[in-house]
Amino acid sequence: MLSGHQAVLTGAAGGIGSAIVRELIGQGAMVHGLDRDRERLRLLEQECAGRLLAYPVDLTDRSETDRVLGDLGRALGGRCDILINNAGISRIVPFALSDDALLDLVLAANFTAAFRVTRALLPALRSSQYASIVNICSELALLGQSGYSAYSASKGALLAWSRTLAVELAGERIRVNAVCPGPIDTAMIEQEFAGADDPLRARAEEIALVPLGRLGTAADVAAVVGFLAGHGAAFVSGAVWSVDGGKTAR
């Protein structure tokens, strides 16, 4: 259990993010949630009745992020036990049509934000006796799929960085792990299906790639994150956890 632990979660208001919030709170943690969707974050804060502190922020805006991180640091009181870098965006664009603006945006949201948030919170993580960092990567850091060149690059960077960080911070008793969700039934993937010529066919074709025969749920991912954040995973670091129904095992 995570009673007395302080957790920071980016992308807290999204499908996977809100499930992680509920998982951590269910284990007793106090969660500090960052998200750019102010309204959804506000509603989630109300739902959590004092167990979630909300920080509206666009993590691709460096000056805004630095201001919010200052507020967050003061609220944490110098100690952070759990950091989950979950914020991210997806864009489906063929490589030949991927311009610099797209690349900069996807890298900023999916990799640079995690790098900068973690760097800012490192002193607070060092003050914890059992610090854990969990980075939410993607199956597309492990396999290729057309149309996701910028996205895959950003998640691949996040995964490689996670392994390096696990080695570098091991001497300070800070564990770092990566979770790679496969197709998860959230608003993000529904938007991707909706953009296909035949949304129902696109959904069926995606499910057909999953040996377990279904899309994952946000709760499936949150349960693994909750384990990695807790004491039961005390000897787990530098690991890559695929939560994809066996898709990447093919």
Q: What is the pLDDT of residue 18?
A: 98
Q: What is the pLDDT of residue 92?
A: 92
Segment 28-48 shows an average pLDDT of 98
Residue 148 bears catalytic tag: no
**Residue-wise pLDDT tens digits, 107-136:** 999 999 999 999 999 999 999 999 999 999
Out of 55, 130, 148, 151, the active site residue is 151
Q: In the chain, which segments carry CATH 3.40.50.720?
A: 6-181+221-239
Tokens of 243: 């939560």
CATH superfamily of the 6-181+221-239 domain: NAD(P)-binding Rossmann-like Domain (3.40.50.720)
**Residue-wise pLDDT tens digits, 190-243:** 988 988 899 999 999 999 999 999 999 999 999 999 999 999 999 999 999 999
**Residue-wise pLDDT tens digits, 80-92:** 999 999 999 999 9
